[in-house]
Amino acid sequence: MTTQSEHHAASAVARRCNIQATSLDSLVGAHPDALRQLYEAGKPADPAELGDAPRGRLLALHPTAGVHMATRPLITALASRWMPWKGNEFDHGGNSGTNVVLGSKVWRFKAQLLPSELDGAPTLALTYGEKAFGNPWPVSALKDELRAAGPGFAIGPMLLRWNESWHAVLWFGLTRATPQ
């Protein structure tokens, strides 16, 4: 249930970046530039607000930004329910977790507040490079960043470290799973 103050805060973020963020699903297929504006207006995501097993959605592919309208139907199809990546599971009080792909827990991550690679402001960063996790390359070279975009959902970029710098690969989001 959304409180009036949460709804007001989400509306204020949306007004600042000219995009309506009523739910994570409403952002599927949004332009990467609009998602970046919404992300930059947000606060670091709190795993407790997302729940232990938030549902994930692909929102946009960053390299296709220049031809967004032509590729938007592809993004929408990729983000449909058949997408193999289903979301994340947080454990240890939100300090670590795993991705859920086709019902299996894979690719462990460490969750911590770090400066964003995009704008330097605080973000919840999911990092995969810990040797103890045993993640293969390119997973070990990834970093996910998340900021709240509305009540119970967060968005951010997936970044790949390549040639000593970070490159945005895609935009994704997590939303609190509803009990079924």
The pLDDT of residue 179 is 58
Token readout for 37 is 């504006």
Distance CA 99, CA 70 (A): 29
pLDDT of residue 18: 63
Residue type, 112: Q
Three-state secondary structure call for residue 33: helix
Read off the amino acid at residue 14: A
Q: What is the DSSP letter of 87?
A: E
The pLDDT assigned to 20 comes to 67
* Residue ranges of the chain with per-residue pLDDT less than 70: 1-20, 65, 81, 179-180
Name the residue among 112, 176, 153, 118 with its Cα closest to residue 13.
153
Tokens coding 13:
């973020």
Please choose, from the candidates 121, 98, 120, the residue with its C-alpha nearest in 3D space to the C-alpha of residue 108: 98
Task: Calculate the CA dihedral of residues 22, 78, 32, 114 and round it to 10 degrees.
Answer: 80
